[in-house]
Structure 1
Amino acid sequence: MRPYAAAFVARVTARNRLPLNYSVASLRLVDALVDGLRKGGADRERVRGTLFGLGAYVGEVLVRRAGGAWVDFDEEQRAYFGQPVGIRMPDGRIWNPVGKVHNRFLAGGPQESLQTFYLVLHGRARRVVV
């Protein structure tokens, strides 16, 4: 997923000069991007690839800033989360950033904030060096 996230960021930032720099603060921009898609009336199926790319980016922020690691979900986890991959945190907890981005798109609002998701995330490493 790391190469997928990097390719997505390169593609998006080349066209729009967006500051997607894998910082926690950049998750606020992801919130705004998802809200823009939703408020613009985009059909979920039409923007599925963009939402997946944004979810990969959010996951990569968890990897780089919180000590997480990408994992392929097993069959049971795929059924539960509705996604093929997620993040395992240092304490063993599993998180679904791709699903969280989809939730933000569907529901919107501060309760689905991706920046808040990171800030209240359980299982983060205290110090991560990237």
Structure 2
Amino acid sequence: MLLLAGCGDGDRAARLKAAGPNPSLDALMRVADADAGARTFGQCLACHTIGKGELDRAGPNLHGIMGKPVAGGSDRFGYTGALKTVGGVWNRPTMDRWLTSPQRFAPGTRMTFAGLSDPLARADVIAYLEREGRE
């Protein structure tokens, strides 16, 4: 559940303050804003779709990705060996590591996205992925 979900980046400072000093991922998720995450996710739309049943692009469709196996979200997409060796499932900590730096998460991945250095922006994107993945 999202706390303090606001309408834009105008509440960023308040959300960061509410998360506390040196906030953990859990603290950031408590103040995450899925709408802000949707805006950040806009840059992902060049390669990914997120709507239920939409086709893969250069990257897999991300509808319902949370809880699915890493390198297993789409049966149609050809994942790299680098990503296949990671194992596990997409959960908040795993997605946070991926969004921080796909290349560090899975060296050799084809994902060219450099990553999001802002922890609150990553939490927002994760909140968006969770919201959009509900059936």
Give me the TM-score of the superposition, normalised by structure 1.
0.31
- Greater fraction helix: 1
Give me the TM-score of the superposition, normalised by structure 2.
0.31
